[in-house]
Amino acid sequence: MKRLPFEKPLTELLDKIDQLKALAQSEGIDLSVEIAKIEERANMVRQELYANLTPIDVVQIARHPNRPDALSLAMMITEDWTELHGDRQFGDDPSIVGGIGRLGGHRVVVIGHQKGHDTKENLHRNFGMPHPEGYRKAMRLMTLANQFQMPIITLIDTPGAYPGLTAEERGQAEAIARNLKVMAGLDVPIVSVVIGEGGSGGALGIGLSNRLFMMQYAVYSVISPEGCASILFRDAKKADVAAKALRITAPDILSMGICHGIWPEPLGGAHHDWQAVATTIQSQLIHVLDGYRGWTPEQWVAERWQHFRKLGPFIENGEPANMPSFC
């Protein structure tokens, strides 16, 4: 498994453990005591590292190539999962996946950004950056969910919508804008979970929801730290400074009232235990959907509207300022 740069002290200990295990096996030597001591030290180092993460460290965890992907999670948290394809206009975008399934007694539509776990997969999935047909596929599934009164679950994990020429030619901005308009008025509950990286309008294109939750080591931002550093500092290497200023970690997003809660991950990140992450997401989603029983379509639309209307407070002279009249 890929080790992250900030995990270097831990990596050295884990490599030493592997060396001792290999030596014990090849030479028939009992090194269990020595291995146990190093493992105990490694656990202490891991706990210390993850108790003092910087924002750019969290970004690295959110982007880990072995992090659970949307399609795998959809299959793990639902029963009778059936994936659906195509936007019925241009084609099928592998960067957006979606389908129907059963979740704790609820019939649901699940839609998510899909990244790959290696170079071949990432090329196929366009590194999780959707084209317009991806957002139109998502809109088609949302409309289907609305027609049959099925709650919508969206799993967000993208650096942003694809900014290339082909996407612009096929109407990228219009596709995202139309999704926002459609989602704002849907008569079913929409619950979004940022499972990795939530980037800009690419994330919001399937994230205009009633409730937004974040995994413990996920990030959510209007721009990537590297992009922000390139614009503000003319130096992408200052991404760590930008990440801190952007306030993109889950606790930051929660403190600003943008998300409704943070769901825990295993120590070391979701990539260490997919099943534990899926179990957490499944139980939490069932709890949220059960809480919506008895609600009317008017209540779902009103809740969604109120949540986004309240976003955007700012500080003036150290005190919260009044919102402008147009907000």
Rounded average pLDDT per 10-residue block, the chain, 327 residues: 84 84 80 84 87 93 95 96 94 95 95 94 94 96 96 95 92 95 95 94 93 96 91 90 93 92 93 95 96 94 91 70 45
Structural domain containing residue 152: 60-313
Same domain, 178 and 106: yes
Same domain, 47 and 193: no
Same domain, 114 and 210: yes
CA 225 from centroid of its chain's CA atoms: 16
Q: According to the model, what pLDDT value does residue 327 have?
A: 33
Asked whether residue 171 is domain-assigned, the answer is yes
Same domain, 16 and 103: no
211-215/190-199 β-pairing: parallel
Same domain, 36 and 95: no
3-state helix, strand, coil in the chain (%, to 5): 50, 15, 30
Same domain, 110 and 233: yes
Asked whether residue 36 is domain-assigned, the answer is yes
Q: According to the model, what pLDDT value does residue 186 have?
A: 96
DSSP class per residue in 35-61: HHHHHHHHHHHHHHHHHS--HHHHHHH
Asked whether residue 72 is domain-assigned, the answer is yes
Same domain, 127 and 216: yes
Q: According to the model, what pLDDT value does residue 243 have?
A: 93
Q: According to the model, what pLDDT value does residue 325 have?
A: 40
Same domain, 245 and 264: yes
Asked whether residue 325 is domain-assigned, the answer is no
Question: One-letter amino acid identity for 276?
Answer: A
Q: According to the model, what pLDDT value does residue 324 have?
A: 44
Asked whether residue 217 is domain-assigned, the answer is yes
CA distance 217 to 196: 7
- Please identify which residue in the block is written with the tokens 């793990």: 76
pTM: 0.88
Asked whether residue 319 is domain-assigned, the answer is no
Asked whether residue 15 is domain-assigned, the answer is yes
Same domain, 75 and 173: yes
Same domain, 30 and 130: no
Task: Work out how many domains the chain is built from and give that number.
Answer: 2
Which two three-digit tokens encode residue 38? 């190093």
